[in-house]
Amino acid sequence: MMAADENEEMRSLELSGQVGFNSLPHQVVRKLVAQGFCFNILCVGETGIGKSTLINTLFNTTFENEEADHYEQQVKLRSQTYELQEHTVKLKLTIVHTAGFGDQINTEESCNPILNYIEAQFEKYLEEELKIKRSLFNYDDTRIHVCLYFIAPTGHTLKSLDLVTMKKLDSKVNIIPVIAKADIMSKSDLGNLKKKIMNELQSYGVQLYQFPTEDEEVGEMNASLNARLPFAVVGSTEDVKIGNRMVKARSYPWGSVQVENEEHCDFVHLREMLLRVNMDDLREQTHFRHYELYRRCKLEEMGFKDTDPDSQSFSLQEMYEAKRKEFLKELQHREESMRQMFVNKVKETEAELKEKEKELHERFEQLKRMHQEEKKNLEEKRRELEEEMNAFNRRRVAAETLMGQALQGCSHQPLKKEKDKKNFFSLPSACSLTSGRNLN
C-alpha cells in the first residue's frame, strides 16, 4: 500500500483564490537580512604581490593588516574578521592572508599549512553538525568560500609552487586565479600569459571555479566571465582626478591606470563575479560540494556508509555498538602489543644492564689485581729503600766514628810536639850547669 502511494504521480491543482504562501520568498528574505550573511576569502600569493591592496579596493575600504616580511621561517595564516553593512544588508567578512608564502628556499611544504587550515574549518563544522545539541542556525561559519590565488606577472608561465598548490586546493575550495599588478604588462603580453596559464592548468588537471551558466539571468554574463579567467587586476586605494571626476587609479609619469576601467584591467569583472552575481553560489559550492566531499570521506573513515536500494536498512545504534566493539577490540590489541613491546624492551634492557654489570665486574677485578700488584711492587721498593737507608746510616755512623778518631789523634799530636820542643830548648842550660860543676 505504501509502495503504491510512493509510485503514485503527484497531481497539480489550481487555486480558486489567493491563499498567501506566495509571500514565502519575502519571509525568507526578511529573515536572512535580519540574520546577516558571512563570507570568507582566502588570499594566497607571494609577499608583496598586492593581496591587501586588492581586497581594500574590492570593498572600497581600508582593512587593518599587519605587513609581512620576506624572512618568515614557514607559512603563517592570519585571519581577520570585519562586520560590514551596505544599506540594510549586514556582511560578516573574514579575510585570511598567507604570510611568508613562497619565501622559503624549500617550498615543498608551503601549501601544507593552507590545507590544514581549510580542513580544520571543515572539521569544526562537522563537529558542530554531529553534536546532539547543535546550533547551526547561529553557528559562526569559518569555512573558506573562495580562494583568490595571486599569480606573479612574470610574463612566462606558472611556477611549480603555483601548480602544486592549486592542484592540492581544487578539491577543497573554490579557486579563482588572478594576475596581480597587471599594469606592468602590455595587452598582448597579458593575453599570451592568460592563454599559457589556462593551458597549463588544464594540462595538469587543475579544477578552477566555473561560474554557473544554467541561470537565464546571469548565464550569459557568467559565460563571458569564464572566458576571461584568469583575471588581470590592478588594485589602488588612491583617488586620482581624471577629467572632471575622481576615480581609483595608479598614477605613472606616462599616465594613469584606472582600476574600474574595463580597457585597463579586469577588476570590474572580478568584482561583478565575486560580490554582485555569484557570492551565494560560492557559498553553496563550498557547502554542497567541498564540504560534502570532506564529510563523506570523514564519515567513511569512521565506519558509516550509505545503504543500497536493494540492501536492508541499518540501525544507527547497531552500527554504533559494532563500531564500539571493533574499536575496543582494536584498543585491546594495541594495548596487548604495547604491553608485549614493553616486556621485550624491559628484557632487552635487563640483558644490557647485566652485560654492563658483568663488564664492570671484570673491569673491577682487573683493576683490583693491578692495584694489588702495584701495592706489592711498592712494598718491595719500600723494603729495598729501607735497607738502603739502614746501610747508609751504618756507613754514616762508621764514617763519623773514624772521623772523630782522626780528629782526636790530630789534637794529641800537636801537644806532644810542643812538649818535645820545650824539652829540647831546656837541654843546653842543663849541660852548661853540669860542665860548670865539673870545672869546679
Q: Bigger pLDDT: 306 or 25?
A: 25
Q: How many residues does the chain have?
A: 440
- As given in the structure block, the three cell numbers for residue 271 are 568584482
Does residue 81 carry a pLDDT above 70?
yes
pLDDT of residue 308: 55
d(CA 228, CA 252): 26
Does residue 301 carry a pLDDT above 50?
yes
Confidence of residue 139 (pLDDT cuts 50, 70, 90): confident
Confidence of residue 1 (pLDDT cuts 50, 70, 90): very low
pLDDT of residue 100: 85
Q: Are strands 146-151 and 37-44 parallel, antiparallel or unpaired?
A: parallel
Helix (H, G, I), strand (E, B) or coil at 173: coil
Average pLDDT over residues 130-136: 82
pLDDT of residue 428: 52
Q: Bigger pLDDT: 155 or 289?
A: 289
Does residue 144 carry a pLDDT above 90?
yes
d(CA 89, CA 59): 14
CB neighbours (10 Å) of residue 194?
Answer: 21
pLDDT of residue 4: 46
pLDDT of residue 30: 87
pLDDT of residue 306: 66
Does residue 289 carry a pLDDT above 90?
yes
Average pLDDT over residues 361-387: 92
pLDDT of residue 157: 81
d(CA 287, CA 285): 5
Does residue 310 carry a pLDDT above 70?
no
Give the helix ranges, DSSP H, for 76-212: 112-129, 160-169, 187-203
pLDDT of residue 273: 87
pLDDT of residue 3: 45
d(CA 375, CA 380): 9
Average pLDDT over residues 185-199: 89
Supply the DSSP string of 234-248, one letter for each residue: -----EEEETTEEEE
Give the global pTM: 0.68
pLDDT of residue 309: 55
Cβ 277 vs Cβ 221: under 8 Å: yes
How would you class 315 by CB atoms within 10 Å of its CB: exposed for 0-12, middle for 13-18, buried for 19 or more?
A: exposed
Helix (H, G, I), strand (E, B) or coil at 41: strand
pLDDT of residue 216: 80
pLDDT of residue 416: 58
Least confident of 161-175, 277-291, 385-399, 422-436: 422-436
Average pLDDT over residues 200-214: 90
Does residue 421 carry a pLDDT above 80?
no
Average pLDDT over residues 191-216: 89
Q: Which long-range contacts (CB under 8 A, 24 or more apart) does 16-20 make?
A: none
Average pLDDT over residues 254-259: 82
- As given in the structure block, the three cell numbers for residue 145 are 568560500
Average pLDDT over residues 175-185: 90
Cβ 97 vs Cβ 46: under 8 Å: no
Percent of the chain with pLDDT over 70: 88
Q: What is the pLDDT of residues 325-348, one digit of tens each?
A: 888 898 999 999 999 999 999 999
Average pLDDT over residues 259-279: 87
Does residue 290 carry a pLDDT above 90?
yes
Highest mean predicted confidence (pLDDT) among 210-214, 310-314, 368-372 = 368-372
Q: In whole angstroms, what separates CA 158 from the centre of its chain?
A: 26
What is the chain's mean pLDDT, rounded? Answer: 84
Q: Bigger pLDDT: 7 or 89?
A: 89
* Residues contacting residue 75 through CB under 8 Å, at least 6 positions apart: 98, 99, 100, 101, 104, 110, 111, 112, 113, 114
- As given in the structure block, the three cell numbers for residue 237 are 586605494
- As given in the structure block, the three cell numbers for residue 322 are 559494532
pLDDT of residue 28: 84
Does residue 302 carry a pLDDT above 50?
yes
Confidence of residue 65 (pLDDT cuts 50, 70, 90): confident
Confidence of residue 439 (pLDDT cuts 50, 70, 90): very low
CB neighbours (10 Å) of residue 240?
Answer: 16
- As given in the structure block, the three cell numbers for residue 217 are 539571468
| Block residue for cell numbers 580544520 | 120
How would you class 272 by CB atoms within 10 Å of its CB: exposed for 0-12, middle for 13-18, buried for 19 or more?
A: middle
